[in-house]
Each structure stands twice: as structure tokens, then as C-alpha cells.
Amino acid sequence: MTSPGRFAGRTALVTGASRGIGAAIAERLAAEGADVVITARTLTADTPAAGKVSRTAGSLTDVLDRLLAYGGKAAAVAANLADPADRSRIVPDAISALGRPVDILVNNAAANITRRPSEISPRHRATMFEVNVLAPMDLTQAVIPGMRERGAGWILNLSSGSARPAPGPPFTAGRLMSVMGVYGTSKAALNRLSNAFAVDLYGSGIRVNTLEPRGAVATEEALARGLDGVPKDMIEPVEAMAEAAAALCDCPPDRTGLVQVSLDLINELGLDIRTLDGKTLLAAVPDTTA
């Protein structure tokens, strides 16, 4: 059973937290006592940040209401991670809102533009690398000084199974692996960058890891798009990602520099998957032994 309040006294910054996996991780951290700052482009459903119109449901204020219900401190910072100047204020704004440096950084935000590598535009590939690689690097560099000073910190980067090369030839993965190729390339870069930071920071008390889902994550957005045709053993609840993320946001110093798979990590550590408030066992725990 998870320990209520294990994140009490710690602060967290979660990117891409207006919906989906980021919102779930932020809620789990807040439920267990963390003070949390969330960031994304969409501040409110009717007034998106930076003049951008959200294409999917969810906003920072929606999530913020859920976080505040747990009784801790929570704040939202609307920013565009694709813009280096705009994202440069995220950590300072978070520190100001929290009243102290960041203990836990979760780089969850991602740009996934599905185009064949032979056809993708310079603008689209630049956006993916800005959001998926350079933004996590900038935010990590920004939180390191405070973590060094306290001798502890947890940095978690959200990755993807698409970072692994498609097996072959012959290539039987089909069109999906092709149009996900540049996105996967950016996530492969993120995996290597996480490991590089872990090596650089080893011995400082700062842990740096990546976490990827085992399959399709059943977020509200994914369910709305439809998961028909996806094998049941390749679908996991968003609570599983939150469970695994919480474990890596409270891991010992020697668990660092790793690429971890959500359900595999849960099985390795003998964890139960719980609801986002951390109190109730999920009715169905996916089997990863098959």
C-alpha cells in the first residue's frame, strides 16, 4: 500500500498537465501531499494561452481545481514549450508560486506530429524537437541548482515505445511506425539525454529517469478517439502511468539513468495500481506476465 503523504513537504512541476497523463500524474502527486505547479498552453477552456485554440478537452484551471481539493498548494503557469523565450519563465514562475525550489520535475508535455520522415516539414520537425527534447533540457538545467543545494531531486521524462527502432527488414510494422518515426526519434533523443543527465549528476542525489507506457494509455482523449482494434493487453489505464511515475518521483538515488516501462516497473516493485487519489485499488490490474 502506498504511504499517504509520502510527498508531503516536496514541490513538483508537471508539464503538459492540462489533460491526460500529465494531469493524472499531477493529481497523484498532490493527493500524496506535494505542492504542485502545472503548466501547458491552455489556461482555460474558453481562453487558451498564447492565442492558441485547444483541439482537445481539458485546461489548466480544470486540473487546478482537482489539485486544490487535496488541501495543498497548487498553481498553474500557462506557457508554450515550443517557444524558448516563453518556457524560460516556467521554472522561475513555479518557484515564485511554490515559495521554494522545485523538488520534482516531470517533463510530460509532448508534440506528436504524424508525418512520414520523407515528407515532414522543417517547421513540424523543429516543433517536435523543441517540445520533446530541448524544453525538457532547459527545464532540467533550470531546476538543477536548487536540487544540488538540497542534495536531492527527482527528474522524470515521459517517453514512448516508438523510440525503439522498427524490427526488420522486412518491415511489418506498417504505416504507423513510419509516421511516428520522427516523433520516436525525438523520444529516443530524450532517453539518451536523460541518461546523460543521470551520469552527469550521479552522486548529487538527483535522480533522472524516463518512463514510457507499455501500450496505449486509456486517457479521456484516447478513449474519445477510440481504441477499437487495439489488443486489450496493449491498453493500460492512465492510473498505471501515474502509479509508476509516483514511484520514480520517490525512488532511491541508485535508481537513475533508466528507461522504465510502466507496467513492468509496477510488477518489478510489487506495486498495486490505485486510483488517482491513492486510496482505492483499481478494479482491474493489467497482467504483464503473458
Catalytic residue set: 183
Q: CA of 129: how far to CAs of 72, 162, 186, in Å?
A: 34, 15, 6
209 forms beta bridges with 156
Is residue 40 within 8 A of residue 15, CB to CB? The reply is yes
Distance of CA 131 to the CA centre of its chain: 12
Residues 92 and 113: their CA atoms lie apart, in Å, by 29
**How many residues would you count in the chain?**
290
Amino acid residing at 275: T
Residue 109's SS3 state is coil
Is residue 66 within 8 A of residue 54, CB to CB? The reply is no
Angle, vertex CA 152, rays to CA 206 and CA 210, nearest 5: 35
Is residue 19 within 8 A of residue 223, CB to CB? The reply is no
Residues 249 and 228: their CA atoms lie apart, in Å, by 33
106 forms beta bridges with 14, 156
Give the torsion through C-alpha atoms of 42, 46, 47, 51, to 10 deg: 80
Cell of 116: 512520414
Q: Give Cβ neighbours of residue 27 (< 8 Å, ≥ 6 apart).
A: 63, 66, 67, 242, 276, 277
